[in-house]
């Protein structure tokens, strides 16, 4: 059955144009009008979705044709369209960056694109750039241009007059530094750390949207469902403990849903604040910012002992990126301070500023291939021989190392469980 829901895809010529700020402002504006707003983020991202979740009041999931697959994306959009008054999708990087790109995703599902552009320092040139983006290919629809950082009514008029009739100026957003979202070395600051401050920014953003006149719902889009494979393996009766606190927050809601759909009971614990583990059969340490909380992690001796005993019992543990760093012997932060970690794996992790590794990879596990991505600003050294490497999306060089010892599987890779749910079930059952 086809369902219809107003939808808009916010893309841009590059990063840093204001997509997240505008998407958050739109989400909150329509939420304040009593609308149900469902928001998605293109590609792998943990930080922007936290902001957008607070703005919209609903979980924000990734849409990625390579990582999740077309059927998974189609199903998520369909389920959202059944309950939402508005669907917003925030693109990643520039409109045609990445394979697949934001333009590919919008074209696949027939969702009109609003081009978001920071127009500070240009006028007619903004129209030329927007026209180029709108006409680069013929397989997607562009709803128009959202001119961000517009200096005056005259500035707005110059852009509007230069645009072709086929490319309207949807809105011109005035320069407003008070809606800018704070950042750190991996991107935006986590929502939980600045919830009150962020709430003020989001509400200002909603007023900013209202003042711009960007207050009409976009046209309805048709959404159809897709058949999703049902996993054959079961996690019935398996309790999985998930590390979640200020240090470990990079958790896709879609990953938790996959585990629960297979019958697992998921519970949460804090390596920072708890003194021991809950009664569980397996552990999952996701990524996050352990480097910002290394002293407190190092001081929590009772938690470290409980995790080591769990490891020595050869029970299943999955550690991703920041979780992998926690498994090593030491962690050195950006200030050069070194702290002891769990020592479940040989090796040392150290932060290295802005340089790092990112990109899409397939985790080649004994249980099967799982789509994944890397995004980190640290390095590891002195680690044991890996059992394998990630396979890069389009480059022959080996990707991230994958380690296994007893029941522990550890890597810098962030895994997308739905890409191979049965392999992930085996990881948490310890049968690899």
Domain boundaries, the chain: 3-223, 239-429
Average pLDDT over residues 343-348: 98
Side-chain-side CA neighbours of 414 within 13 Å: the count stands at 26
Predicted local distance difference test score (pLDDT) of residue 184: 42
Q: How confident is the model at residue 194 (pLDDT cuts 50, 70, 90)?
A: low
Which of the two residues, 179 and 283, has the higher pLDDT score? 283
C-alpha dihedral over 387, 43, 282, 331, to 10 degrees?
70
Per-residue pLDDT at 186 exceeds 50: no
Catalytic positions: 321
Classify residue 385 as left (phi > 0), alpha (psi -120 to 50) or beta: beta
- Fold adopted by 3-223: Rossmann fold (3.40.50)
**Candidates 3.90.650.10, 3.40.50.880, 3.30.70.270, 2.40.30.20; CATH matching 239-429:** 3.40.50.880
Q: Which distant-in-sequence residues (6+ apart) come within 8 Å of 36 by Cβ?
A: 58, 83, 84, 85, 86
Per-residue pLDDT at 30 exceeds 80: yes
Predicted local distance difference test score (pLDDT) of residue 188: 46
Instruction: Output b/e per residue, 7-41; b: 16+ Cβ within 10 A.
Output: bbbbbbbeeebbbbbbbbbbbbbbbeeeebbbbbb
Asked if the domains 3-223 and 239-429 are classified in one and the same CATH topology, the answer is yes
**CA 221: distance to chain centroid?**
24
Query: What does the alpha-carbon distance between residue 210 and residue 303 come to, in Å, rounded to a whole number?
Result: 49
Predicted local distance difference test score (pLDDT) of residue 193: 62
- H/E/C letters for each residue in 396-407? CCEEEEEEEECC
Average pLDDT over residues 25-35: 98
Average pLDDT over residues 293-298: 98
Q: Strand, coil or helix: what is 230?
A: coil
Query: What does the alpha-carbon distance between residue 169 and residue 161 come to, in Å, rounded to a whole number?
Result: 9
Total number of residues shown for the chain: 432
Q: How confident is the model at residue 295 (pLDDT cuts 50, 70, 90)?
A: very high
Q: What is the pTM for the complete model shown?
A: 0.91
Predicted local distance difference test score (pLDDT) of residue 183: 56
Specify whether the CB–CB gap between 24 and 90 falls below 8 A: no
Q: How confident is the model at residue 396 (pLDDT cuts 50, 70, 90)?
A: confident
Instruction: Please name the helix (run of DSSP H) or strand (run of DSSP E) that holds residue 307, with its range, or none.
Output: helix 301-312
Q: How confident is the model at residue 358 (pLDDT cuts 50, 70, 90)?
A: confident
Predicted local distance difference test score (pLDDT) of residue 177: 76
Average pLDDT over residues 343-352: 96
Q: Return the percentage of the chain with pLDDT > 90, whole number.
A: 85
Q: Return the percentage of the chain with pLDDT > 70, whole number.
A: 95
Query: What does the alpha-carbon distance between residue 260 and residue 234 come to, in Å, rounded to a whole number?
Result: 10
Task: Write out the E strands in 119-270.
Answer: 142-150, 169-174, 183-184, 187-188, 220-223, 239-243, 248-250, 265-269
Distances from the Cα of 256 to the Cα of 221, 286, 424, angstroms: 29, 11, 11
> What mean pLDDT is reported for the chain?
93
Predicted local distance difference test score (pLDDT) of residue 356: 57
Average pLDDT over residues 115-132: 98
pLDDT in tens, 246-291: 999 999 989 999 999 999 999 999 999 999 999 999 999 999 999 9
Q: How confident is the model at residue 189 (pLDDT cuts 50, 70, 90)?
A: low
Average pLDDT over residues 87-110: 97
- Maximum average pLDDT range among 59-63, 98-102, 171-175, 310-314: 310-314
Predicted local distance difference test score (pLDDT) of residue 354: 63
């Amino acid at each position: 059955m086809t369902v219809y829901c107003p939808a808009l895809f916010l893309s841009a010529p590059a990063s840093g144009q204001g997509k997240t700020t505008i998407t958050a402002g739109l989400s909150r504006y329509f939420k304040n009008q009593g609308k149900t707003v469902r928001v998605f983020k293109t590609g792998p991202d943990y930080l922007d979705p936290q902001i957008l979740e607070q703005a919209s009041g609903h979980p924000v999931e990734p849409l990625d044709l390579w990582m999740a697959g077309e059927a998974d994306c189609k199903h998520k959009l369909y389920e959202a369209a059944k309950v939402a008054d508005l669907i917003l999708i925030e693109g990643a990087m520039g409109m045609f960056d990445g394979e697949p790109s934001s333009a590919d995703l919008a074209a696949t599902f027939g969702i009109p694109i609003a081009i978001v552009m920071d127009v500070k320092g240009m006028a007619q040139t903004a129209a030329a750039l927007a026209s180029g983006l709108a006409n680069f290919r013929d397989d997607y629809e562009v709803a128009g241009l959202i001119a961000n950082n517009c200096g005056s009514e005259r500035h707005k008029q110059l852009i509007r007059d230069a645009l072709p009739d086929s490319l309207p100026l949807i809105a011109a957003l005035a320069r407003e530094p008070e809606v800018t979202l704070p950042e750190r070395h991996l991107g935006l600051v986590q929502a939980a750390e600045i919830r009150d401050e962020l709430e003020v920014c989001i509400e200002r953003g909603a007023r900013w949207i209202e003042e711009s006149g960007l207050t009409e719902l976009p046209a309805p889009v048709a959404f159809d469902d897709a058949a999703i494979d049902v996993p054959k393996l079961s996690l019935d009766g398996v309790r999985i403990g998930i590390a979640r606190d200020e240090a470990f927050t990079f958790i896709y809601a879609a990953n938790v849903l996959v585990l629960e759909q297979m019958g697992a009971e998921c519970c949460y614990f804090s390596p920072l604040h708890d003194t021991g583990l809950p009664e569980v059969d397996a552990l999952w340490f996701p990524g996050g910012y352990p480097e910002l909380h290394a002293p407190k992690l190092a001081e929590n001796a009772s938690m470290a002992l409980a995790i080591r005993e769990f490891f020595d019992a050869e029970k299943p543990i999955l550690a991703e990126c920041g979780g992998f760093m926690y498994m090593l012997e030491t962690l050195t932060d950006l200030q050069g301070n070194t702290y002891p970690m769990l020592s479940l794996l040989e090796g040392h992790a150290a932060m290295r500023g802005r340089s790092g590794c990112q990109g899409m990879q397939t985790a080649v596990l004994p249980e099967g291939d799982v789509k994944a991505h890397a995004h980190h600003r640290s390095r590891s050294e002195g680690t044991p021989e890996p059992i394998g490497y990630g396979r890069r999306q389009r480059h022959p060089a080996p990707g991230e190392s994958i380690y296994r010892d007893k029941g522990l599987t550890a890597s810098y890779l962030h895994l997308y469980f739905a890409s191979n749910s049965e392999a992930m079930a085996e990881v948490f059952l310890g049968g690899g």
